[in-house]
Amino acid sequence: MTASLYERLGSAEAIARIVDDFVDRHAANPLLAPRFQGRDLAKAKRHGTQFMCMGAGGPERYEGRDMRTTHAGMNISEQEFIAALDDIVAAMQAHKVGAAEVNEVVGILYSLKGEVLRL
């Protein structure tokens, strides 16, 4: 039996480290940082971890708002979306996530672009 993406990413603890890393990268990214100023980064990390764990097939329950509601009114550009994906990929690579898993996560996130862009 093939391991789930959740298991291949290293389960909740490893996913939490990846999310912590990419949220910090977002907050430092010149294109994204203005959106993170004054935000509760600990909450963003907690919800990000829950979302990524659940989306990867883990048992965690996501307690945040849906993607469309979360991003409504933000008018996120394609450039910001790609910058966020780049940060996520860099974080996964820094944590030694395999190429197949990185590609799978990017595919999942890219499939959500309609729930994030230009809302």
The pLDDT of residue 1 is 79
Task: Write down the CATH number for the domain with range 5-115.
Answer: 1.10.490.10
The pLDDT of residue 100 is 97
| pLDDT tens, residue by residue, 66-93 | 999 999 999 999 999 999 999 999 999 9
Angle between helix 41-55 and 11-28 (nearest 10)? 130
Cα pseudo-dihedral 11, 84, 26, 108, rounded to 10: -20
Q: What residues of the chain score a pLDDT lower than 50?
A: none
Going by C-alpha positions, the residue among 97, 81, 107, 70 that lies closest to residue 15 is 97
pTM comes to: 0.95
The pLDDT of residue 51 is 96
